[in-house]
Amino acid sequence: MKMANPDEKILSFNDVVLRRSDLDILSGPHFLNDRIIEFYLSYLSTVHPSPAILLVPPSVSFWISNCPDTESLKEFLEPLKLPDRNLVIFPVNDNTHVGLAEGGTHWSSLVFYRGANTFFHHDSNRGSNKQFARQLYKVVAPFLSGEDAMFREFSAETPQQSNGYDCGIFVLAVARIICQWFETAGTKNRDELWLSDVKEIVPGLVTHLREEVLVLITRFMAEKETR
């Protein structure tokens, strides 16, 4: 019996290419890789297509945080139209090896909300990524809102993971809830932010989101085959 090739391309979604090994990651208790996170954020961008929202791919977040040349970074960021965005969500990774792809052992979320001129860090592991989130904040803040944007650590207000591998799932869940909050915030008091929604909805969402993403991918694969 021929073994499945783990590097086989199974789906192209927007600019994201998924491989068969990604299905294995979603099928078991495994740390999410860049591709899966990028896929789901790209999917959320189609669900919430507002030009005011930007969901940044993990590779782009990592490059912003570690780019050694300010001028190159300025040119790199121009297509993202950061000054026009009201909500920007960055995945944060603790990879310290710039030349190592798919590095790191933990994910968290850095969220910029222009209405508060603040970057909020959500970390499902007691703020262990705080230094990496601050590094990204210091680099990108001048391009988003100038030097006066604040940084707030929201890990104490973020539901916490109970294992060593679901941090990426928490990043996806937090992104989904915040995007939903942003679209409906016109009927609420925006000063309350999204904290109550994250606290109330994320714990239940993460219990089935891994399976939900897997089902989503397989559905897109089936739709592609019928075309």
The residues spanned by each domain of the chain are 9-97+105-226
| Signed CA dihedral, 62, 121, 207, 16: sign only | negative
How buried is 47 (Cβ within 10 angstroms: 0-12 exposed, 13-18 middle, 19+ buried)?
Answer: exposed
Whole-angstrom distance, CA of residue 74 vs CA of residue 143: 8
Q: Look at residues 45, 124, 47 and name the one whose alpha carbon lies nearest to residue 89.
A: 45
Active-site pick, 34, 121, 167, 179: 167
List of E strands, the chain? 9-13, 16-19, 53-55, 87-93, 107-113, 118-122, 150-153
Amino acid identity of residue 37, one-letter, is I
Residue by residue, pLDDT tens for the chain (227 residues) are: 456 788 999 999 999 999 999 999 999 899 999 999 999 999 999 999 999 999 999 999 999 999 888 888 999 999 999 999 999 999 999 998 766 656 789 999 999 999 999 999 999 999 999 999 999 999 999 999 877 899 999 999 999 999 999 999 999 999 999 999 999 875 555 667 999 999 999 999 999 999 999 999 999 999 988 76
Read off the DSSP letter of residue 147: T
Which candidate in 22, 34, 48, 106 is catalytic? 106
Q: Is 97 a catalytic residue?
A: no
- pLDDT score for 1: 46
Burial 186-210 (b: 16+ CB within 10 A, else e): eeeeeeebbeebbeebbeebbeebb
CA dist., res. 196 & res. 184, Å (int) = 14
pLDDT at residue number 137: 96
Q: Is 213 exposed, middle or buried (0-12, 13-18, 19+ CB in 10 A)?
A: buried
179 carries an active-site annotation: no
**Which of these CATH numbers, 3.30.70.1710, 1.10.3720.10, 3.40.395.10, 3.40.50.300, describes 9-97+105-226?**
3.40.395.10
Select which of 123, 166, 179, 197 is catalytic. 123
φ, ψ at 55 (rounded to 5°): -105, 110
In the residue annotation, 167 being an active-site residue is answered as yes
